[in-house]
Amino acid sequence: MSSFDPFNIGTVPVGGPAPFFILGPCALESEAFAWEMAKSLKEIADKTGIHFIFKASYDKANRTSVKSFRGPGVEEGCRILAEIGKELGVPVTTDIHTAEDAEIAGAYIDLLQIPAFLCRQTDLLEAAAKTGRVVNVKKGQFLAPWDTINIADKLRSFGCERFLLTERGTTFGYNNLVTDMRSLYWMRKEGLPVIFDATHSVQRPGGLGGATGGDGELAPVLARAAIATGVDGVFMETHSDPANAMSDGPNQIPLEFMEDVLVKLIAIHHAAHG
């Protein structure tokens, strides 16, 4: 299997002996909430011995309804995330949606994430690459795993050698996704660093009519399968009260279960790849 040169995202190693984790709530619902979640996850990470990157989105620009909550915006959101990262000593990540977003976020954010719907937007990929930050591209629900080679080629042509590709499910009829675990192997075989997004893979896009539904109880199940298959990292959204989350509540893992989920994933990694 092809490989890539290991690199770091802040203090988090990519391509090391163990997978890292991208954890956090879907949206930056408030500054106080973001701090509460980040501190709780840092405690869990320290207890379980994992490397983690804190995640939250400052703008949910792809919501189902125009009435849906979006977030505080790029300037305020990046300020909050940067302060959290500095205080807790953890890298941070968030979505970007435009070249202008990339320039602003690049000054604050360790890992810039390209949403699945925008994964082929050449100008956005170029803008993200030019920041010098590590870039994480979500594989579009409409792409085959081997199509991600073209995304990798674009990033490399723009001078970005430190990037990740994230599997987050493939469109499977209306309002449904399915995850093909073979894609993790095939992308990794091409020498691409691969992340598995457990929570967005169990979405039911638009499944609630004016909002996205999902099967959050299946997220840890798919994460276990991904770890056994072999990935460089796992992305999982979590919330202290998913039922009242402002975005993607049905998909997020309750914070109270996160430590147990991580302990099981670590054990599976050691059993399968130890």
Considering the domain boundaries, does residue 2 fall inside one? no
User: What's the pLDDT at 194?
Assistant: 98
Cβ neighbours around 256 below 10 Å, total: 11
Confidence tier at 264 by pLDDT (50, 70, 90): very high
Confidence tier at 210 by pLDDT (50, 70, 90): low
Q: For 30-51, give the DSSP string.
A: -HHHHHHHHHHHHHHHHHHT--
184 vs 91, 141, 225, 249, CA distance in Å?
24, 14, 10, 26
Considering the domain boundaries, does residue 166 fall inside one? yes
Share of the chain above pLDDT 90, in %: 84
Considering the domain boundaries, does residue 158 fall inside one? yes
Q: Which of 57-61, 142-146, 218-222, 226-230 has the lowest mean pLDDT?
A: 57-61
CATH code for position 237: 3.20.20.70
User: What's the pLDDT at 258?
Assistant: 98
User: DSSP H helical segments within 131-210, as ranges?
Assistant: 148-157, 182-189
CB distance 199 to 251 below 8 Å: yes
Considering the domain boundaries, does residue 3 fall inside one? no
Q: Which of 74-88, 89-103, 195-209 has the lowest mean pLDDT?
A: 195-209
Q: Which of 17-21, 35-39, 137-141, 202-206 has the lowest mean pLDDT?
A: 202-206
Considering the domain boundaries, does residue 213 fall inside one? yes
User: What's the pLDDT at 1?
Assistant: 46
User: What's the pLDDT at 70?
Assistant: 86
CA distance 197 to 194: 10
Considering the domain boundaries, does residue 155 fall inside one? yes
What the block records as the tokens of 64 is 């189902």
CB distance 27 to 57 below 8 Å: yes
**pLDDT(63) > 60:** no
Considering the domain boundaries, does residue 5 fall inside one? no
Tens of pLDDT, residue by residue over 121-149, are 999 999 999 999 999 999 999 999 999 99
Q: Per the structure, how many domains does the chain have?
A: 1
CA distance 164 to 106: 16
Per-chain mean pLDDT for the chain: 93
Structural domain harbouring 170: 19-273
Q: Which of 115-124, 132-141, 200-209 has the lowest mean pLDDT?
A: 200-209
Tell me 213's DSSP state.
E
